[in-house]
Amino acid sequence: MAIDALVFDKDGTLFDFAATWGTFGRTALERLSDGDMRLASELGRAIGFDLAQESYEPDSVVIAGTVDEVAGALKPHLPELSLEQLVETLNRASAEARQIPAVPLAPFLDELRQAGLKLGVATNDAEMPALQHLHSVGVRDHFDFVAGYDSGHGYKPGPGQLLAFARHVEVEPSCIAMVGDSLHDLEAGRAAGMATIGVLTGMATAETLEPLADVVLPDIGHIPGWLSKA
């Protein structure tokens, strides 16, 4: 299998999900509830987030959903806010969230680029916070393409973002691997006709990912070794 390009999910793949997004959940819900902890806890339950533990349920909409879907789950509990206001608040809190890389990203991405690989990001986060997150750890310029759910290519598990990446870098989908931590990522990869690499730095287990993955790795740092044998 010749792989000439890699397209990465962001949350749970480039960045460790639990380490990064627990604090974001608390910050966003406290902001939306204006400090009312009873309401903040109620909002947490609506999106599968335990406020006290700063942890997510495996099926939380935050894990693989878009910010529109998260806002939709919160809206019934915040009738005074419009969906647009909720999305804006969530995007602002997301952009401010301190990102914890799954591995040291700059040297990892340098190694891939030096091997001649084209690199992209396809995330169900919005494009603005996604770019901010990559910039915050100094790797925005390592990627040839970055798409969020609002970039005009659709969102995962649809293949639109991935196919847009393939067109942008002029590489056939069959020579690209999609790297992600959720079934949405791997479903998108399969739908696009790409190889699929699952990683365990999100919330899904190996048993969950294996049916749709060509390989499941502990984290993205193991990809060069896998590519050398593929």
Residue 175 has pLDDT above 90, yes or no: yes
Task: Give helix 67-74 / helix 83-96 axis angle, nearest 10°.
Answer: 120
Domain residue limits, the chain: 5-16+101-229, 19-96
pLDDT (tens digit, 9 = 90+) per residue, 105-160?
999 999 999 999 999 999 999 999 999 999 999 999 999 999 999 999 999 999 99
Its CATH architecture, for the domain 5-16+101-229, is 3-Layer(aba) Sandwich (3.40)
Token digits of residue 173: 């989908």
Residues 82, 132, 34: CA angle, nearest 5 degrees: 35
Residue 24 has pLDDT above 90, yes or no: no
Percent of the chain whose pLDDT exceeds 90: 85
Tokens 């602002």 belong to which residue?
92
pLDDT (tens digit, 9 = 90+) per residue, 32-44?
999 899 999 999 9
